[in-house]
Amino acid sequence: MKITGFERTVLRVPFLPGILPSREYGEFAPPDQPFSPTAYPESIERRCQDLLRIHTDEGVSGIGMSGPYFGTQADNPPDLI
């Protein structure tokens, strides 16, 4: 089986800070201010994640998701393709 395709879709999911405890969602904030607005480097509405789809020559497809990030990331397929 060989990987034949790789698709990346950038997602910005609506999110309200403080819904999940910081230890569960990776919100970086001081312990005495767990939901501090300074916990994020930018506005939470700009937080992105990538939806990744990988396809093979045998018709098998897989889906994954990147970790959260702010800004942009290069749109280059990985070296494995």
Is the residue at 22 inside a domain? yes
pLDDT of residue 22: 55
Domain limits at 20?
3-65
Is the residue at 78 inside a domain? no
Most confident of 14-18, 59-63, 66-70: 59-63
pTM comes to 0.54
Is the residue at 75 inside a domain? no
Can you spell out the DSSP letters for 31-52? TT-TT-GGGSSS-GGG-BEEEE
pLDDT of residue 41: 61
Give the residue with greater pLDDT, 12 vs 80.
12
pLDDT of residue 18: 65
**Which pLDDT tens digit goes with each residue over 9-59?**
988 877 666 665 555 454 555 556 655 555 556 666 677 888 999 999 999
Residues 2, 54, 73, 30, CA torsion sign = negative
Is the residue at 77 inside a domain? no
Average pLDDT over residues 57-63: 96
Domain count, the chain: 1
Is the residue at 35 inside a domain? yes
